[in-house]
Structure 1
Amino acid sequence: MTAIESYLAIPSWRYIDESLSAKTRSALESFAADDTLCQLVGQHQSAPTVRTWVHDHTIVLGVQDHRLPYLERALPAIHEAGYKTIVRNSGGLAVVLDSGVLNISIVLSEQNGSIDISIGYDVMLEFVRMLFPEVADRIEAYEIVGSYCPGSYDLSIDGKKFAGISQRRLRQGVAVQVYLCIEGSGSERANLVKALYETGLGGETTKFTYPVIHPETMASLSELLDVPLSVQDVNLRIQHQLNLLAENVQSGGFRADEMELYTYYLNRVVERNAKMISHT
């Protein structure tokens, strides 16, 4: 077993599936949930956790996106297309969420030793490869220039990006988050973000260099594998993989005694987002 695999092959995992229940709710609730889990797992009040979540028609903006010089001109077109916008509390730039995008959070504790940022990314990369053994050796991690939210841990097959990874660290907890474009068209999602930057920049030069989006650099796993893969198919793979990795998998959402903490983090996330949005 490799060092990275040792973070995944553990006695107990907690599994929270919100791929259906969160779909119509605000994505802010998912960021609050991961903050809650960071504290619970970080303080050993919960087993390490895998949470799956889906939100419909949402563009999650990064802090730098919020600083686009003409963001207020770009947002109406996004909203008219049926997409909500929020500003996230972790790093990165704009990403598109919809019913064909499955998000996975892996939440680990640093209480028994720090987890390097690169280790966190590698744990998620290994987990994604475990989920897709038929193409595991073709899944690569490097920056896909021309994609939205580019980073050194863009996940791609044959040079086409289908996933991106971010991290959130809080109270000795580490939440490693990945979005997996499972269904639909990767390039259509990229076109939405391309329009955001083109309108939001308005031709101006900024200190921060925003990505120039080339939609053809992005694809869904259904397109890349040429099979009609669904979000629920992948969720079943996740459950199966967790049962292979752990002796015990605890399923279920937040317990009654954890809801007070979740409410605290939700209020914090909502207030922060309201302040950011009100300044656009």
Structure 2
Amino acid sequence: MKNWKEIVRHKQFRYLDHSKENFFNKKAYTALTSFAIDDVLALSVGGKNTAPAIRLWVHPDTVVLGIPDARLPYIEEGVELLNKQGYHVVVRNSGGLAVALDAGVLNISLVLPDVKHISIHDCYEAMVSFIQYMLRDLTNEIEAYEIVGSYCPGDYDLSIGGRKFAGISQRRVKDGAAIQIYLDVEGKGVERASLIRDFYRVGLKDAETKFSFPDVDPSTMASLTELLGTKITVNGMKDRVLESLQHFSNTIVTDDFSADELEAFKTRYEQMVKRNEKIAGMQ
């Protein structure tokens, strides 16, 4: 196993804060945009055209579905429930299942090159260790293992005291990878989990499926603010990301997208829109 610091440490890092701006103003800035952007960054770093990158993104009131979720037997009713609660619904192109995003959830994409020589497991471990490092002054109790009863459960659920506050997925494009994590920073983890629980109850009902969907128990989830008993904000977490990144890189750049990246974005965005045609037709 590679040391996580070897994976994260680079002479130069590209830092992109897309948590507030209407990125690419010509298109609505939705989660579809974000997944397309991460693909473009993975292509760029994999082709050695740009430095490794960290990108921050926030999307208000959005439920991001995994590919299996889109095949729920009563998916139309599930999407309708989410829409009535004021949530936009998209299907992502990376692994995992349904996740609730809002203004209190910070998404971090760590985009790395040369992943043909780095295992998927090591990339996940690097993200886990980076988050532990970011929060080292607040807690040393962050663990990574599957939290049964959480939404989007996986081996790299991040939890404190058995309650999950973050989950990680990974998207590889040629020789680049975007390791994506959502962090429930502020707000009520139980409320987010209750929303996803209700989505599965309506979208699955009592139907038998080949895929095993999670039986969500809202008590298994919480925000960092709730878990640590201290107010932590998304803006404060963004500061921690940048500060930690500076420890692993000599130079931080904030380069805009190049002409080639903009062209690649058009293609990747169109692919995301096509992937979401069925879901979009339900909203």
Between the aligned partners of 2:60 and 2:35, the Cα distance in structure 1 is 15
Partner of 1:208: 211
Between the aligned partners of 1:22 and 1:191, the Cα distance in structure 2 is 29
Gaps of 5+ in 1: none
Partner of 1:44: 48
The answer as to 2:123 corresponding to 1:120 is yes
Following superposition, the deviation at residue 278 of structure 1 comes to: 4.7
Task: Evaluate the alpha carbon distance shift between residue 190 and residue 55 of structure 1 in structure 2; reply closer, same or farther with a 3 A threshold.
Answer: same
Q: Deviations over 1:110-131 (max 9, x none)?
A: 27x5210100100100110111
Q: Deviations over 1:68-90 (max 9, x none)?
A: 11111121121011100011111
Partner of 1:181: 184
Partner of 1:14: 14
Following superposition, the deviation at residue 56 of structure 1 comes to: 0.6
Task: Evaluate the alpha carbon distance shift between residue 252 and residue 235 of structure 1 in structure 2; reply closer, same or farther with a 3 A threshold.
Answer: farther
Following superposition, the deviation at residue 275 of structure 1 comes to: 4.5
Between the aligned partners of 1:18 and 1:273, the Cα distance in structure 2 is 22
Structure 2 counterparts to residues 1-280 of structure 1, below 5 A: 3-22=3-22, 25-110=29-114, 113-275=116-278, 277-278=280-281
CA contact (8 A) 1:22 1:55 kept: no
Secondary structure of 2:155's aligned partner? coil
Task: Evaluate the alpha carbon distance shift between residue 155 and residue 25 of structure 1 in structure 2; reply closer, same or farther with a 3 A threshold.
Answer: same
Q: 21-30 or 151-160, which moves further after superposition?
A: 21-30
Following superposition, the deviation at residue 161 of structure 1 comes to: 0.2
Q: Deviations over 1:209-245 (max 9, x none)?
A: 1100000000000101111111000001111111121
Between the aligned partners of 2:268 and 2:203, the Cα distance in structure 1 is 30
- Percent identity, aligned pairs only? 45
Q: 46-55 or 4-13, which moves further after superposition?
A: 4-13
Matched to 2:9, the amino acid is: A
Report the TM-score when normalising by structure 2.
Answer: 0.94
Gaps of 5+ in 2: none
Q: CA RMSD in A?
A: 1.7
Following superposition, the deviation at residue 271 of structure 1 comes to: 1.6
Q: 61-70 or 269-278, which moves further after superposition?
A: 269-278
CA contact (8 A) 2:61 2:102 kept: yes
Between the aligned partners of 2:95 and 2:22, the Cα distance in structure 1 is 22
Between the aligned partners of 1:22 and 1:203, the Cα distance in structure 2 is 41
Between the aligned partners of 1:278 and 1:262, the Cα distance in structure 2 is 23
Secondary structure of 2:81's aligned partner? helix
Matched to 1:104, the amino acid is: I
Between the aligned partners of 2:262 and 2:238, the Cα distance in structure 1 is 25
Report the TM-score when normalising by structure 1.
Answer: 0.95
CA contact (8 A) 1:194 1:213 kept: yes
